[in-house]
């Protein structure tokens, strides 16, 4: 009887180890497949001949033409740069406070 228990226990340990090994190798096979798929994907902005906005991924001719990342934001232009603010704010007030902060 004792020998039977030993055989059953050995069998269960072997099955468990096989399952763990199988899970381990399946994980790395999936990782390989994922990396292979990424290699063949087209890079972001591959068809863009202008500038790719880092916040939105939009393709524009100049950086100042980039849209705000949030749809209800207001784009405030100041020279060759811009900033996006909440729609309930005023561009004049925000740009004045930025100007006074940078001139100190």
The number of folded domains in the chain is: 1
Q: Structural domain of residue 78, as residue ranges?
A: 51-102
- What confidence score (pLDDT) does residue 58 get? 92
Distance (Å, whole) CA 59 – CA 41? 18
Confidence of residue 73 (pLDDT cuts 50, 70, 90): very high
Average pLDDT over every residue of 63-74: 92
Q: Residue holding tokens 């039977």?
A: 4
pLDDT at 103 over 60: no
**56 within a domain of the structure (yes/no):** yes
- 8-57 pLDDT tens trace: 888 888 888 888 777 777 776 766 555 555 555 555 557 899 999 988 99
Q: Which helix (DSSP H) or strand (DSSP E) does residue 37 occupy? A: helix 2-40
Distance (Å, whole) CA 23 – CA 16? 11
Whole-prediction pTM: 0.48
**17 within a domain of the structure (yes/no):** no
Report the percent of the chain where pLDDT is more than 90: 30
């Amino acid at each position: 009887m004792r020998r039977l228990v030993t055989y059953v226990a050995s069998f269960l340990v072997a099955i468990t180890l096989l399952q763990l090994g199988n899970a381990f190798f399946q994980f790395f096979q999936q990782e390989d497949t994922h990396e292979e798929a990424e290699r063949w994907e087209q890079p972001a902005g591959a068809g863009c001949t202008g500038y790719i906005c880092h916040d939105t991924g939009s393709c524009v001719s100049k950086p100042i033409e980039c849209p705000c990342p949030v749809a209800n934001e207001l784009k405030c232009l100041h020279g060759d740069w811009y900033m996006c603010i909440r729609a309930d704010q005023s561009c004049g007030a925000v740009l004045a406070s930025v100007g006074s902060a940078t001139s100190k």
